[in-house]
Amino acid sequence: MTDAVFAGGSASPGQSTTVGIVVNPVDGTVLDSFPLASAGDVDAAVRAAARALPEWSALPPVERSSALLRLATRLQERAAEYALVETRQAGKPIRLTTGFDIPGSIDNVAFFAGAARNLDGKAATEWDGDHTSVIRREPVGVVGSIAPWNYPLQMAMWKILPAVAAGNTIVLKPAEITPLTSLMLAEDCAAAGIPAGVVNVVVGTGPEAGEALISHPDVAMVSFTGSTGVGKRVMQLATESVKRVHLELGGKAPFVVFDDADLEAAVHGAVAGSLINTGQDCTAATRAYVQRPLYDAFIAGVADLFTGIRLGDTEDPDTDLGPLVSRRQAERVAGFVERARRDGARVLAGGRAPGGDLAAGAFYEPTVVVDAAQDSEIVRDEVFGPVLAVLPFDSDDDGLRLANDTVYGLAASAWTTDIFRGLRAQREIRAGTVWINDHIPIVSEMPHGGFGQSGFGKDMSTYSFDEYTHIKHVSLDVTGQARKPWHRTIFTEPT
Ligand code: NAD
C-alpha cells in the first residue's frame, strides 16, 4: 500500500478518511488504494519545508546544481521503471513514456542543474553617481505546487526543478489519481542527497489537501497547473494572504493551415499534434482551421490516418494510442462528441468507444468532427481527448481571427510555405507558444506558459526563475557623506 506522504525525508501513510484509488485505465485494474493526505499532513509537510529552507537557500548554487546532477543520474538508471509505472497509472503507451515523458523529465533535471548556476540580473553600477546598485535574486520561500494527471512526472518536474534550483523548498500535491511517479521522485531526491524537507510530496484531494496547501500561512507562493476552473479557485484562495501565484491552465490550441501549406506535412502534423497523449495535452491541436482550397483533402487525409491508429495494450510497443486517463474522462469526451452531433456536426472518423477486447478500458477512438459552428462547445471548450474539430476559412484575415477567437492562449501553429504568411502568423496569434510548420515539440531551454485564461508565468527555461525568485535591489552609498545632497528635500541649507 502506497504511503501518501513524503515529507521531511521520509514516507508515512496519509491521515485523511478519504481513500485514493489508482487504476490502470487500460483495463480498469486497481493498482493501489490507500488513505490520502489530510490537512494535518499538509501542515506537517509545509513545516518540514520551512525548516529546510534556511540551509538550502544559503547553499552555493554549485551545491544545488551537484545535487540535481546526481538526481539526473539516478533517474537515468531507473528510467525503465519510471516509464512502466507512468504507463500503468496514466494509461500511456510505453512508446510515449520511454520516448517522451521520461527522457524529457531527465533532460529537465540536467537543464536546471546548469541553470541553478546561472541566475541573471543587470550589471551593478552607480546609476545616480552616489550609490552602487546591486540586484539580488532571492528564493521566494516555501512553494506550494499542485499538478495535474496528464503528464504526472513531467508536471512534477516542471514545478519542482525551477523552485529548488533557485533555492526554494517545495510541497507538491500531485493529482490523486496518478501519484506514483511523483512519490518515486521524492524518494529519489532524498537518495540523490537533496536534504530532507527540500522536496515534499502530499497525495490528497484538491478540496482537502490542495486547499490546505494554498491557504497555509507559511506557503509563500502557489504554483498550479490544471484546469482554468480550478485555477480561478486557486487564485481566489491565494488572495487571502497575498501569495505569489503562477498559473498554467487550460488550452484550446488552433492549427491554421493556409492554402500554400505542404498538405502531407499538415495532415501528419494534425494527427500527431492532436492525438499526442490521447489528446490529453494542454497544447494539443484541437481546432484546425483550413483554407478552403485544401479543406476537403485535409479532412479526408486526417480521417484516413485516424482510422489506421492502433489502440490497445499500453505495454505493447506497437500500440499507438492508449485510453483516456479514466472512465470518467472517456465519458466526458463522448459527451462532447454526442452534443456536437446533436447540434448538427458530422463525425468523419471515430466518434465512439471501441468494443471487443478494449471495452474494459477507458478508450475512445480518434475522432474528426466537421461542420461544427465556431461558437459551439466542441470548438470553444477544452475536450481533453482524441478529438479534432476542423473548420474552413477563406481569407488569411479570417484564419488568424478565428485562431484568436478563444479565451485561451497557450499554444498554436500555422502551416504555410510562404515566409511572409508565417511571419504574420507568429506575430498576430496570441499564444505563449507558436509553431510554424510543426505542433508540439518543446525544449527545456525555452519557456512554456499561457496568455489569457491559459494563465500566467512560465515553466521551464531560465524565464521560470522570474516566478521562483524575488528581485531585491540593494543600494550602497559610495560617498561616505553624513549630509547628502538629497537631504535638501528636508533640511534648509546650510544646517
Ligand atoms: P484539475 O484542475 O481538475 O486538477 C489539477 C490539480 O488540481 C489536481 O491535483 C487536483 O487534485 C487539484 N485540485 C482540484 N480541485 C482543487 C481545489 N479546489 N483546490 C486545490 N487544488 C485542486 O485538472 P486535471 O483534470 O488534473 O488536468 C487537466 C487540466 O490541466 C486541463 O485543463 C489542462 O489543459 C491543464 N494542463 C495545463 C498545462 C499547462 O501547462 N498550461 C499542463 C498540463 C495540464
> What is the average per-residue pLDDT within 425-431?
98
Q: pLDDT grade, residue 181 (50/70/90)?
A: very high
Q: pLDDT grade, residue 192 (50/70/90)?
A: very high
Distance from residue 158's CA to the centre of ligand 1 (Å): 14
Distance from residue 422's CA to the centre of ligand 1 (Å): 33
Residue of 205, 214, 222, 282 with the most ligand 1 atoms within 8 Å of its CB, for mutation: 282
The predicted pLDDT at position 460 comes to 97
Determine contact, residues 170/247, Cβ cutoff 8 Å: no
- 220 with 288, same domain: the answer is no
> Ligand 1: which residue has its CA nearest to atom 15?
206
Q: Is the residue at 93 inside a domain?
A: yes
User: Over the range 301-335, which residues count as b (16 or more CB within 10 Å of their CB) and which as e?
Assistant: bbbebbeebebbbbbeeebbbbbbbbbebbeebbe
pTM of the model: 0.96
Nearest atom in ligand 1 to the alpha carbon of residue 158 is: 40
Nearest atom in ligand 1 to the alpha carbon of residue 454 is: 41
Distance from residue 349's CA to the centre of ligand 1 (Å): 29
Q: Which of 86, 176, 282, 365 is catalytic?
A: 282
Q: pLDDT grade, residue 1 (50/70/90)?
A: confident
The predicted pLDDT at position 274 comes to 98
**Which CATH number fits the domain that encloses residue 75?**
3.40.605.10
The predicted pLDDT at position 493 comes to 67
Q: Is the residue at 40 inside a domain?
A: yes
- pLDDT of 401 above 60: yes
**Residue 280 φ then ψ, to 5°:** -90, 60
Q: Say how far residue 244 (Cα) sits from the centre of its chain.
A: 18
Percent of the chain at pLDDT > 90 equals 99
- Longest Cα–Cα distance of the chain, Å, equals 95
**Which CATH number fits the domain that encloses residue 261?**
3.40.309.10
Distance from residue 283's CA to the centre of ligand 1 (Å): 14
The predicted pLDDT at position 163 comes to 98
- pLDDT of 368 above 90: yes
- 141 with 157, same domain: the answer is yes
Pairing of strands 433-436, 19-24: unpaired
- 465 with 432, same domain: the answer is no
Q: Is the residue at 443 inside a domain?
A: no
- 466 with 366, same domain: the answer is no
Q: How far apart are CA 89 and CA 181, in angstroms?
A: 9
Nearest atom in ligand 1 to the alpha carbon of residue 227 is: 32
Domain tally, the chain: 2
Distance from residue 210's CA to the centre of ligand 1 (Å): 11
- pLDDT of 407 above 90: yes
- 258 with 231, same domain: the answer is no
Q: Is the residue at 480 inside a domain?
A: no
Distance from residue 100's CA to the centre of ligand 1 (Å): 21
Q: Which of 248, 365, 382, 467 is catalytic?
A: 248
> Ligand 1: which residue has its CA nearest to atom 6?
148
Q: How far apart are CA 86 and CA 352, in angstroms?
A: 26
Q: pLDDT grade, residue 492 (50/70/90)?
A: confident
Q: Is the residue at 332 inside a domain?
A: yes
> Ligand 1: which residue has its CA nearest to atom 43?
282
| pLDDT digits 0-9 by tens, 87-134 | 999 999 999 999 999 999 999 999 999 999 999 999 999 999 999 999
> Ligand 1: which residue has its CA nearest to atom 23?
226
> What is the average per-residue pLDDT within 300-326?
98
Per-residue 3-state assignment (H helix, E strand, C coil) for the chain: CCCCEEECCEEECCCCCCEEEEEECCCCEEEEEEECCCHHHHHHHHHHHHHHHHHHHHCCHHHHHHHHHHHHHHHHHCHHHHHHHHHHHHCCCHHHHHHHHHHHHHHHHHHHHHHCCCCCCCCCECCCCCEEEEEEEEECCEEEEECCCCCHHHHHHHHHHHHHHCCCEEEEECCCCCCHHHHHHHHHHHHCCCCCCCEEEECCCHHHHHHHHHHCCCCCEEEEECCHHHHHHHHHHHHCCCCEEEEECCCCEEEEECCCCCHHHHHHHHHHHHHHHHHCCCCCEEEEEEEHHHHHHHHHHHHHHHHCCCECCCCCCCCCECCCCCHHHHHHHHHHHHHHHHCCCEEEECCCCCCHHHCCCCCCCCEEEECCCCCCHHHHCCCCCCEEEEEEECCHHHHHHHHCCCCCCCEEEEECCCHHHHHHHHHHCCCCEEEECCCCCCCCCCCECCCHHHEECCECCHHHHHHHEEEEEEEEECCCCCCCHHHHHCCCCCC
Please confirm, yes or no, whether 86 is among the known catalytic residues. Answer: no
> What is the average per-residue pLDDT within 318-335?
98
Residue of 42, 108, 150, 234 with the most ligand 1 atoms within 8 Å of its CB, for mutation: 150
| Sign (positive or negative) of CA dihedral 165, 166, 167, 171 | negative
> Ligand 1: which residue has its CA nearest to atom 42?
282
Q: Say how far residue 261 (Cα) sits from the centre of its chain.
A: 30
- 233 with 270, same domain: the answer is no
Q: Is the residue at 442 inside a domain?
A: no
> Ligand 1: which residue has its CA nearest to atom 32?
227
Q: pLDDT grade, residue 189 (50/70/90)?
A: very high
Return the SS3 of 393: strand
Residue of 105, 214, 227, 283 with the most ligand 1 atoms within 8 Å of its CB, for mutation: 227
Average pLDDT of the chain is: 97
- 295 with 388, same domain: the answer is yes
- 44 with 136, same domain: the answer is yes
For residue 23, the one-letter residue type is: V
- Which range of residues forms the domain containing residue 412? 253-436
> What is the average per-residue pLDDT within 228-239?
97
Residue of 230, 249, 460, 467 with the most ligand 1 atoms within 8 Å of its CB, for mutation: 230
User: For the purposes of burial, counting CB atoms within 10 Å of the CB of 463, is it exposed (0-12), middle (13-18) or buried (19 or more)?
Assistant: middle
For residue 79, the one-letter residue type is: A
Determine contact, residues 248/270, Cβ cutoff 8 Å: no
Cis peptide before 179 (omega within 30 of 0): no
Nearest atom in ligand 1 to the alpha carbon of residue 382 is: 32
Q: Between 152-165 and 79-90, two packed helices, what is the crossing angle to 10 degrees?
A: 120
Residue 255 pairs with which residues in a beta bridge? 288, 413
Residues in contact with ligand 1 by the CB-under-6-Å rule are 146-150, 155, 173, 175-176, 205-207, 210-211, 214, 225-227, 230, 233-234, 248-251, 282, 382, 384, 410, 448, 450, 454-455
The predicted pLDDT at position 495 comes to 52
> Ligand 1: which residue has its CA nearest to atom 31?
227
Percent of the chain at pLDDT > 70 equals 99
**Which residues are CB-neighbours of 456 under 8 A, at least 6 positions away?**
246, 247, 449, 450
Q: How far apart are CA 180 and CA 85, in angstroms?
A: 7
Distance from residue 152's CA to the centre of ligand 1 (Å): 11
| CA angle (275, 298, 435) in 5-degree steps | 55
Q: How far apart are CA 83 and CA 101, in angstroms?
A: 8
Distance from residue 149's CA to the centre of ligand 1 (Å): 7
- 206 with 329, same domain: the answer is no
The three cell numbers locating residue 297: 483533402
The predicted pLDDT at position 494 comes to 58
- 280 with 391, same domain: the answer is yes
Residue of 92, 146, 151 with the most ligand 1 atoms within 8 Å of its CB, for mutation: 146
Q: Is the residue at 453 inside a domain?
A: no
> What is the average per-residue pLDDT within 17-33?
98
Please confirm, yes or no, whether 282 is among the known catalytic residues. Answer: yes
> What is the average per-residue pLDDT within 34-42?
98
Q: How many CB atoms lie within 10 A of CB 118?
A: 12
Distance from residue 9's CA to the centre of ligand 1 (Å): 26
- 161 with 215, same domain: the answer is yes
Q: Where are the beta strands (DSSP E) in 199-250?
A: 199-202, 221-225, 244-248
Q: Is the residue at 491 inside a domain?
A: no
**Which residues are CB-neighbours of 409 under 8 A, at least 6 positions away?**
251, 430, 431, 432, 450, 451, 452, 453, 454
- 294 with 203, same domain: the answer is no
Distance from residue 245's CA to the centre of ligand 1 (Å): 15
- pLDDT of 404 above 80: yes
Instruction: Give whole-number Cα distances, 261 to 8, 301, 330, in Å.
Output: 55, 14, 33
Q: How far apart are CA 134 and CA 199, in angstroms?
A: 30
